[in-house]
Amino acid sequence: MTPDLRTTAAAAYAGAVAHLSRVQQDNGAFAGEVVWNPMLPCQYVILCHILGHAIPEARKARIRRALELQVRPDGGWGMHPDSPSYLFHTTLGYVALRLLGESPDDPLLADAKAWIEQHGGVWAIPTWGRIWLAMLGLYPWSSVQPLIPELWLMPDASPLHPRRLYCHMRLIYLGLSFVYGHRFVAPMDHTLAALRNELYPEGYDERRFARHVDDIAATDLFEAPSPGLRRAFAAMRRLERFTPKALRRRALARALEHIGFEHRSTGFVCLSPVNGMLFCLALHISDPRHPDLRKALAGLEYWFWEDDTQGLRIAGARSDIWDTAFLVQALAEWPESECARTIVADACRWLPTAQIQEEIVGGAAHYRSPAYGGWGFANEHHPWPVSDCTAEAAEALLRADFAGLCDDAGRLQRGRVLAALEFILRRQNDDGGFGSYEARRGSMALRRYNPAEIYGNCMLEYSYTECTGSCVRALAWIARSLGDDVGEDLAGRIRKSVKAGQQFLLGQQHESGAWLGFWGVNGTYGTMFATSGLLASGLGRSHPAIVRACRWLVETQRDDGGWGESYVGMLQNRPVALPDHVPSTATQTAWALLTLLEAAPHERAVIDRGIAMLAARQLPDGRWPDELATGVFFNTAVLDYVLYRQIFPAWALARYLHVTA
């Protein structure tokens, strides 16, 4: 470290703080867009067509604008901007544009249609795509894998009850099973009839669909249906012929009851827009004049990001609490300016308002885990709390309070801290790791019965490295904040939980020395959380696991001074560096620096090169430029957290200034 570099780092940090002050919301929160792919806007178009809900012309233009910006060079659309084209997304894109009134001769549609034809047509589209097409009469229900609603009538103790699934999959299955159980098909109209001819120029032959019933396009397939799942589908298809109509009606009624609860308990925003749109369809199918349908449609707007430049996007998640919690922790490490202190104080006044302060009435009957004391991923209007969101929010407030940065409105009282503690402890799995929304409920054998062929590891709650690191670290901070008042019984529970989390993390270290991420790309992300959690659990910097992790980071620093990993590593279950010609990312560089500054501050030359890279990459207005997306879920679904490349570099600079002070 040289005086010049420290001066440069201080100037970069001041610029970052100034920029962050300009994007802070009036309520004190930070809310960055979580950019995904065009799947959701396309499904929204299909939903509106089925419901007869007119889309304003300005919004139609924005949907097209987003599709124009996200199309791949080969004419298709992919899972994310850096992925190859998928049949699923390309087909939905083509159908949506036609339903918006675009001509099949339009170059955007003509290229998409050519891509579909070059890849064998629509026959082998994945299951979720088949269902959306089937609702339009563009795929026969007889060739859709059976997602039967009768499973909702099984005893709760059954190992196959849907309650055992990961909550996102559980609610998606809830909506899909309702639609499938009705075999709903929208009335055929001129556009749909034309689409049949365009998608199937060789003819809409149901016998050919039957020959492809178990086929999934190679462009889309990530996790092939297991032999057991294929046998289960075949058995259900045979048994469905003998399903009593009364039983089906009971199953559909039970599913609709669960859907109604999800609407009421979330103020109609639902867990995500994926299940939110399916639930709108369910209401329409049950009654086109359903009194809740208007509110359900309005609830979808919660997930929309819309402007004339980037078009209309529908985020798979909002991240207000997540972003704000990280930002508070970042600036609390070096609050040496009035601007930084003001940002933290304002954020701390908002963050407690997003903690869930009362239990969700009736939640247990609808398979909701206790929510009291938790924070979610989104904001105060989204009552689906998460383990690591709670951990990061609680730690952020405790860190800010410890640093004297928050007033009474931002200070968690003892009861609120205890509520967060109990919430976190309930998310720990038997293996010592922590789940996200819930502790795991089902046997790991269920992971082999994944009907969503384009995603992986999506059937169950797992024990996640990142969640475990966050929760262990927060438990240590909570124990510190409670001090001698914690009581021996509670102190013992905390020690036991931290020890179990520590052992889980030690067992998850990859042979490279990194910890692989599940929610971020990849080793730099997982390693940041695992290392901080292990240090908080009591391990020293000289522990072999910590040393191996830091050695991996040192060895993977790139020629430009930064770090950069490819999303391909999420597909191969190992760290994969970006190609040499692709620059490192500011986000992944910051993750690596945060780890080294905490665990190996003696690696000064490596750290200095990384800090210099961040400072050099920063724009004059204090921002870091757009770069490759670094968020992910279910292996294949890469997400661009827009604020990551602003918050984490600022945090790395803050820690650098603190460590070198």
Residue 202 has pLDDT above 80, yes or no: yes
Percent of the chain with pLDDT over 90: 96
Strand ranges (E), 190-322? 304-307, 311-314
Residue 618 DSSP symbol: -
- Average pLDDT on 330-339 reads 96
What is the C-alpha separation between 550 and 410, in angstroms, rounded? 35
SS3 54: coil
- Average pLDDT on 230-259 reads 94
Q: Sorting pLDDT into bands at 50, 70 and 90, what band is 618?
A: very high
Specify the pLDDT at position 448. Answer: 87
Q: 159-163, 172-176, 237-241, 511-515 — which is least confidently predicted? A: 237-241
Query: For residue range 439-454, what is the model confidence (pLDDT) as tens digits?
Result: 999 999 898 889 899 9
388 is catalytic: yes
Token duo for residue 193: 């009839």
Token duo for residue 525: 């992300």
Is pTM beyond 0.75? Reply is yes
- Strand-strand pairing, 385-386 and 304-307: unpaired
Q: Sorting pLDDT into bands at 50, 70 and 90, what band is 370?
A: very high
CA 510 to chain centre: 23
Query: For residue range 276-308, what is the model confidence (pLDDT) as tens digits?
Result: 999 999 999 999 999 999 999 999 999 999 999
- Average pLDDT on 150-166 reads 96
What is the C-alpha separation between 499 and 507, in angstroms, rounded? 12
Query: For residue range 432-486, what is the model confidence (pLDDT) as tens digits?
Result: 999 999 999 999 989 888 989 999 999 999 999 999 999 999 999 999 999 887 8
In the block, residue with structure tokens 């509106």: 48
Specify the pLDDT at position 53. Answer: 97
Nearest in space to 18 (alpha carbons), one of 290, 479, 343: 343
Q: Sorting pLDDT into bands at 50, 70 and 90, what band is 2?
A: low
Residue 1 has pLDDT above 80, yes or no: no
- Average pLDDT on 235-263 reads 96
Q: State the catalytic residue, choosing from 220, 388, 608, 640.
A: 388
Token duo for residue 3: 């005086």
Residue 63 has pLDDT above 60, yes or no: yes
Query: For residue range 640-658, what is the model confidence (pLDDT) as tens digits?
Result: 999 999 999 999 999 999 9
- Average pLDDT on 24-44 reads 97
Question: What is the DSSP code string of 138-200?
Answer: SS-GGGSPP--GGGGGS-TT-TT-GGGS-HHHHHHHHHHHHHHHHT--PPP-HHHHHHHHHH-
Specify the pLDDT at position 316. Answer: 87
In the block, residue with structure tokens 């207005």: 621
Question: What is the DSSP code string of 32-89?
Answer: --EE--THHHHHHHHHHHHHT-PPPHHHHHHHHHHHHHH--TTS-EESSTTSPEEHHH
What is the C-alpha separation between 459 and 448, in angstroms, rounded? 8
Residue 61 has pLDDT above 70, yes or no: yes
Average pLDDT, the chain: 96
Percent of the chain with pLDDT over 70: 100
Tell me the domains of the chain and their CATH numbers: 3-34+316-659 (1.50.10.20)
- Residue 159: is it exposed, middle or buried by C-beta count within 10 angstroms (0-12/13-18/19+)? exposed
